[in-house]
Amino acid sequence: MKVEDWLEKNTFHHSEFWDLRQLVEEKERKGLKISLCIPTLNEEKTIGKEIIIFRSELMERYPLVDEFAVIDSGSTDQTREIAAAFGADVYLSADILPETGSKRGKGENLWKAIHQLEGDVICYVDADISNIHPRFVYGLVAPLIWQDETHYVKAFYDRPLNYSSGIRPSGGGRVTEILVRPLFSLFFPELTGIIQPLSGEYAVRREVLEKIPFPIGYGVETSHLLDVYEKWGLSAFAQTDIDQRVHRNQTTNALGKMSFGILQSFLSRLEKFGRLPAIPDMETLYRQFEVEDRDYQQITHSIVEEERPPMIEIPAYRKKFGRESS
């Protein structure tokens, strides 16, 4: 499928799915169950609003979402208390599949959600969105409800950033534009059709989620795209314009660490897919500099992109969902 054709057929705007009654009817006609997962770590400022809006609009007013859980990495603020106070099912990531151990990272929460939640489709929405709206969910699950051949739907949006002085518009995400898009252009040109490959909001069918590995850190979104593309091709993807997403700004240093993790996942996949000959062992120390009064200090961060295996390989999961080993 040509990228242009794919863009034409599989790129949507959330307003195309405004008729939630019709969407719920189609979901029920197809017998689909939709789960919503919010991974959290210290999100007390925004979690309450997300829960209120999603529960009221997408569970009570329009029963599009059948199950809704907050999966927390061990917040030290009031995130879990606030989420529970507004009626969300709240889980500590470490309490899910305890026999697999506990790792710290957003990808860990996403992976464990596959076992904890029971939906045929799982929609992931980040917790740090200050202009949350039901479109962040229905815009993503709608293509999966309407198109059986679609397996993985990503969000894209305008990205105004929250600065202390207010909000100002930005271009695309910085890591997307200076790292991921150049890499995709070099090695996977078809994937450049995905406008925001690093967006934290996506909805995916269970049969896809359970068959792909999960980096637990920064590389989870990139590796998802590569793995799904390798197994199911470009036509498995769709993307929806969610308009505007207001979120916290990240420092350049933080983006450097993120890029380091993404590169680890990306290069390991190039090797796995046979696109590059064996690459040497990669360093896991990321080095940055701090300068103060001509005193140059090197700061090192250990960033290891550990991966969880495809969920289908976990015996407890196969037992819970009656799956055969792949």
Partner 1 sequence: MTKKKNAKPEKLSIEQLIGVLPAYVEKLKQARELFLANVVMFGEIPGPTFRETRRSQFMLDRFHESDLHDVFMDESGNASAILPGTRRSNVIMVSAHADTVFEEDSHPAMLVGQDSITGPAIADNSLGLATVASLPMLLDRLGIRLADDLLLVGTTRSLGRGNLDGMKNFLSTRRVPIRMGICVEGADLGRLSYSGLGMVRGEIQLKIPPDYDWNRFGASGAIGHLARVVNSIMEIPIPREPKTRIAFGSLRCGTSYDTIPRRGALRFEIRSEDDAMLTELEGKLKDMIDEFSLRHGAEFKMEIIARGNNCCIPFSHPLVKTTRQIMDALKVDPIVTPSSGDLSALIDAGYPGVTLGISRVENSREENETISIEPIFRGLAQLVGLLCAIDSGHCDES
Q: Which residues bind partner 1 (CB under 8 A)?
A: 44-46, 48-49, 51-53, 55-57, 60-61, 78, 81-82, 85-87, 130-131, 133, 160, 166-167, 246
CA distances from residue 121 to 31, 58, 69, 250 in whole angstroms, order as listed? 11, 15, 14, 30
Please say which residue, 55 or 104, places its beta carbon nearer to partner 1. Answer: 55
CA distance 166 to 160: 10
Q: Name residue 204's beta-bridge partners.
A: 122, 152
* CB nearer to partner 1: pick between 101 and 166: 166
Least distance CB 83 / partner 1 (angstroms):
10
Beta bridge partner(s), residue 307? 215
Nearer residue to partner 1 within complex by CB, 86 or 317: 86
Minimum Å distance from CB 127 to partner 1? 12
To partner 1, the closest distance from the beta carbon of 255 in angstroms equals 23
CB 34 within 8 A of CB 121: yes
Measured from the CB atom, is 105 or 160 closer to partner 1?
Answer: 160
Query: Nearest Cα to 53, choosing from 44, 43, 41, 62?
Result: 62
Check if the beta carbon of residue 36 is closer than 8 Å to that of residue 71: no
How far apart are CB 81 and partner 1 at their closest, in Å? 7
Cβ proximity to partner 1, 57 vs 241, nearer residue: 57
Q: How far is the CB of 167 from partner 1 (least distance, A)?
A: 5
Shortest approach of partner 1 to residue 161 CB, angstroms? 12
Report CA 6 to chain centroid distance, whole Å. 21
Cβ closest to partner 1, residue 87 vs residue 189: 87
The amino acid at 315: P
**How deeply is 166 buried, as exposed, middle or buried, from its count of CB atoms within 10 A (0-12, 13-18, 19+)?**
exposed
CB-neighbour burial class of residue 97 (10 A; exposed 0-12, middle 13-18, buried 19+): buried
